[in-house]
Structure 1
């Protein structure tokens, strides 16, 4: 029976946050973002192990309690997110089978719930197709030219905003990422690599609360969501 593993790319600098430390170490309700994310993944009984990909020079991770959990391992990250994800996959493959599933989740999405993780895992395993958590667009979308002029209005019914987690077979995702990077293709998420390699990718609608902390304003919103999730878990 296939196992499910998680890979968490956490080697980025978070330039858009304009903070003194990488955003995964900023605190929400007194706890680092990365710690919140790892706690959620470790709380999911479907996940066999978690691989966290870090900057090799990163010493801040030493203070993250969940990194000492026996189910958590670490690997050295690369220059870009795709490089780090591939490094994480290669590290997982030392213990996992190519037919195992791997769930990739952003370190800066701390509001993921166990229910969301379980729904994605169940959908992928039952249908044997990789999938992406995403949200349907509620805004009118415009495609613009280089000189900032509107070229066309897109049909928002066909537009979805990708989130993480994204889940695929370990061997297939490793091959897809390796091929894209070898051809200098800028890969922004795992689904893009899989689409480009010709694999089917499903969409699973995720909640608006599964936010990525990217800008300073996101911190306050994430704190509110986490407090609500904690309250619900106590009921």
Structure 2
């Protein structure tokens, strides 16, 4: 039976957030933002191990106590300049234990509201899938294309459009191959698509938000408090 592993790339600076520290270390309900994402993954019984890929010179990680997350959690200081590079380095770090047919879930460090139900849906929908897939939600809002002056030049049809989330789950061997061949991507599904394959969309919901701007952090607080 294939095993499940998780990689959380956490070498980014979070420059769009505009904070003094990387956004994955901003406070959220008394914990660093990334803690909540890691807690969801380490608490999942199907996942054997979780690697956090840090920047080689990250000074923030040692300032916190991660012991409550248990023995599944491991850190590797091999983060790269891009997400794809960090994930590729994380895959290499996992090579000693992961087989080609094992599943790898890649999850955003700044996506703290992942739930057990979302993970269960991902595992159930992709258990026998030949490609793998991602959590995603159908686009609900009307989409406008803007010009250089931020004026509307077109309304884009939203039929068939989905907003990608994480985790994104693919076989270890195939994901390693895809990122080696196509690293100029913004998510793992993009690399799989470059191989000519079609990842499956597993319906999630908007509570699995990515914290990008300060207002997102306030939303994450409300979502997590609501669950408790």
Q: What's the TM-score bracket when you normalise by the shorter of the two chains? A: over 0.9
SS of aligned partner of 1:191: helix
Q: Aligned equivalents of 2:139 and 2:9: distance in 1?
A: 26
1:149: how far off? 5.6
Q: Aligned equivalents of 1:152 and 1:17: distance in 2?
A: 29
Structure having the higher helix fraction is: 1
Give TM-score scaled by structure 2 length. 0.93
Q: Number of residue pairs matched?
A: 226
Please show how residues 174-193 of structure 1 align to structure 2 within 5 Å.
174-181=176-183, 186-193=184-191
Residue 210 of structure 1 aligns with which residue?
208
Q: Aligned equivalents of 1:126 and 1:116: distance in 2?
A: 17
**Runs of 4+ in structure 1 over 6 Å off:** none
Residue 159 of structure 1 aligns with which residue?
161
1:153: how far off? 2.6
Q: Aligned equivalents of 1:124 and 1:67: distance in 2?
A: 30
Q: Mark the runs of 5 or more structure 2 residues left unpaired by the alignment.
A: none
Distance 1:104 1:67, change over 3 A: farther
Give TM-score scaled by structure 1 length. 0.91
Please show how residues 192-231 of structure 1 align to structure 2 within 5 Å.
192-229=190-227, 231=228
Residue 13 of structure 2 aligns with which residue?
13
Residue 46 of structure 1 aligns with which residue?
46
Residue 170 of structure 1 aligns with which residue?
172
Q: Mark the runs of 5 or more structure 1 residues left unpaired by the alignment.
A: none
Q: Aligned equivalents of 1:118 and 1:26: distance in 2?
A: 28
1:125: how far off? 1.3
Distance 1:14 1:192, change over 3 A: same
Distance 1:85 1:66, change over 3 A: farther
Partner of residue 137 from structure 2, selected from 116, 123, 135: 135
Residue 110 of structure 2 aligns with which residue?
108
Q: Aligned equivalents of 2:187 and 2:92: distance in 1?
A: 17
8 A Cα contact 1:5 1:50, kept in partner:
yes
Q: Aligned equivalents of 2:17 and 2:145: distance in 1?
A: 26
